[in-house]
Amino acid sequence: MLSKKQHLVYAIVGALVVLSTIALVLSLVQIEDVTLPPTVKYGMVFDAGSSHTSLFVYEWDSDKENDTGVVSQTLSCDVQGHGISSYANDPLKAGDSLRECLDKALKVVPAAKQRDVPAYLGATAGMRLLREQNGSAADQILTEVAKTMQEYPVAFKGARILTGEEEGAYGWITINYLLESFTKYSPKAHTWLRPEAANIFGALDLGGASTQISFMPEGSEINWNETSKLTLYGYNYSIYTQSYLCYGQNEMLKRLAKELIAESSSSMRVAHPCYPKGYNETISLSSFCTSPCTNRSDPRLTLSDRNVTLEGRGNASQCLAAVKKLFNFSACGQRQDCSFDGFYQPPLRGQFTAFSAFYYNFNFLNLTEGQSLATVRETIEHFCTRSWEDLSSSYPEENPERLPKYCANANYILTLLLDAYKFNETSWNNIYFQMKTGSADAGWTLGYMLNLTNMIPAEAPAHFKGHVPSLWVAAIAFIILTFALGFVALLLLLWM
């Protein structure tokens, strides 16, 4: 009969055998790491333009693609009223104007994430002009805007005035992102890949107070000091971008009116070749003092409070000639690497997307379907000859303040693209007029957000930590088992 010591020894040996076997089995079982889905991040950007303000809300997964978030547009909201620069005499209203869109934005962002949402306001040419004319008023508007945004449960990052070059570069980023020039999702590979033959587009932006052209130049004689360097999705890009203040369509119309009045020897009634026959507009000369683009002294014109009536003539050729006088093409001399006003521009390269006012004007004229330059010219010329009575009855739903301006705007676009930027009969076919790709708007805000995500560290995916299968774990288990059994065997020999 076994003694108590022998029972104890056998029990210990049995327990060790069982435990060692369990350790051995566990070491050989493969348990993979379980990766949790990436969290969704949000960001919001106000585009405070010269004529209006819009809010865009974006979202992207926290695990980024080559250090740049894959961003999609969640919401766009147009702020009621004019641009924030119009509140120079009442800055408080600039901040209050944003509230309705901010309230809408918080409805699409989960409450738990709102305080982590980076929120920005970028002001463009309208505020650049106001800063030139009244710096303190511009600063006060930005202060009031910031106060309003800081009242909301978001991570307010600042309200500032963008340079024209930043506006152009971010617009270029937006266009190429939307057209999948930087990265494209491969369902087969289940990942984002850079297109093998990436087709990089140029960007043409026309706002109310400025216009921008941006593209990737090519050639050995390029002045690379005039380019900007960007890094997106792990690749470097060098782009040329130029912004022209006072060459947005609203400022152009003011400058055109002033030029026509000055040429008429300050008459009380002035013929306007771009306005339709039968349309009259009365303006005060003092209105030219409200913008740095038109308040410059002109010996032919004395700015005062008197009113002048502009009478439409509906003459396409005279309209085009009048618009061309707004550019200083002689400043370039015989240089081919020059656009106008003496500004450097390398040779055009590749295809371009024209958005904002480029698109809106040509879309109204049904010229966004790739029509030839000859067709575009013919359509514009015919439109300019239509009377105000004809236009107002044909387009009853069109804004009556905008309708008489399409002739001038269209001829301005032709001059800007052909004479200034140097597109021709052949390269005209490389321009695509569009405002949306998918559900996202063209413009600088998406590019700004994409560039912003380059500065946000990639968030490491959360894991459930499992056992890592390896031979050394099995070896340790065997060693433990061997020593344990040897030790027990030694005890048996001593006790029995």
Please, how many CA atoms are within 13 Å of residue 352, restricted to the half-sphere of its CB?
25
Long-range contacts of 369-374 (CB under 8 A, 24+ apart): 370/429, 370/432, 372/428, 372/429, 373/425, 373/428
CA-CA distance, 116 to 118, in Å (whole number)?
6
Length of the chain as a residue count: 496
Give how far the C-alpha of residue 295 lies from the chain's centroid of Cα atoms, to the nearest Å: 31
CA-CA distance, 447 to 168, in Å (whole number)?
10
The DSSP call for residue 277 is T
The DSSP call for residue 325 is T
CA-CA distance, 319 to 274, in Å (whole number)?
5
CA-CA distance, 448 to 460, in Å (whole number)?
23
Which residue is it, tokens 């790739």? Answer: 370
Residue 230 tokens read as 């960007």
CB atoms within 10 A of CB 68: 25
Active site positions, annotated = 167
CA-CA distance, 174 to 237, in Å (whole number)?
14
CA-CA distance, 208 to 167, in Å (whole number)?
13
As beta bridge partners, residue 45 has: 56, 120
